[in-house]
Chain A
Amino acid sequence: VQLVESGGGLVQPGKSLKLSCSASGFTFSSYGMHWIRQAPGKGLDWVAYISSSSGTVYADAVKGRFTISRDNAKNTLYLQLNSLKSEDTAIYYCARGFGFSDWGQGVMVTVSS
């Protein structure tokens, strides 16, 4: 199992960014997937979940601003981040399945002017 995040970077408040998580080593279409984030020096916060049938759930802190999606043909998970705030600055991880059994290495998102 391998999960590789990409798309992070420095972005101004109010702007947008799209993260990707490329999956391999398992049947991607059969698994629900999560995004989790970790602010610098802080603990872990669950962000969003998408089921194998593309049903979605969001944390209140990102609801209406972030959108999780998937492309099973490309074995890729996405997170669209809109209306970014400084408090969204974090390492963003993707993880596999209900039990978060496998994690990517993470991608840094910095929101700053």
Chain B
Amino acid sequence: DIQMTQSPSFLSASVGDRVTINCKASQNINRYLNWYQQKLGEAPKLLIYNANSLQTGIPSRFSGSGSGTDFTLTISSLQPEDVATYFCLQHNSWPYTFGAGTKLELK
């Protein structure tokens, strides 16, 4: 199985900050990497698919980059509504696997 190592586990940042979250795959997953946002008590929401494609309706302050084994989710200017847990998902090969999550809080 492909292991997804996500970092950091917790992140505290201020409104307006640039925030980066990383996922590292245990083997090459090409660009088959998605990012999700999950707010407390809600279902996950797709933000970025195939490493760098912004899902329809998602604010442009969210962006994704990377290929192969190393991927990054960037929030260019943190907003209060971005407080959530963020997960990556590899869908290159079965079984699909998620990162453990990054809990983002406001400082």
Contact = CB atoms under 8 A, between A and B. Distances in A.
Interface of A: 34, 43-46, 49, 57, 59-60, 93, 98-106
Contacts of A46: 89, 95-98
Task: Name the residue in A43, A49, A98, A106 with the highest tally of chain B Cβ atoms < 10 Å from its Cβ.
Answer: A43
A59 B43 contact: no
Nearest to B85: A43
How many residues of B sit at the interface, in one of the four size bands? 20 to 34
10 contacts: A44-B44, A44-B101, A45-B98, A46-B96, A46-B98, A93-B44, A100-B44, A100-B91, A102-B46, A105-B43
Given A44-B98, A45-B98, A46-B97, A99 B49 contact: yes
B62 interface: no
B107 to A, nearest CB: 23
Interface of B: 34, 36, 42-46, 49-50, 55, 87, 89, 91, 94-101
A103 B43 contact: yes
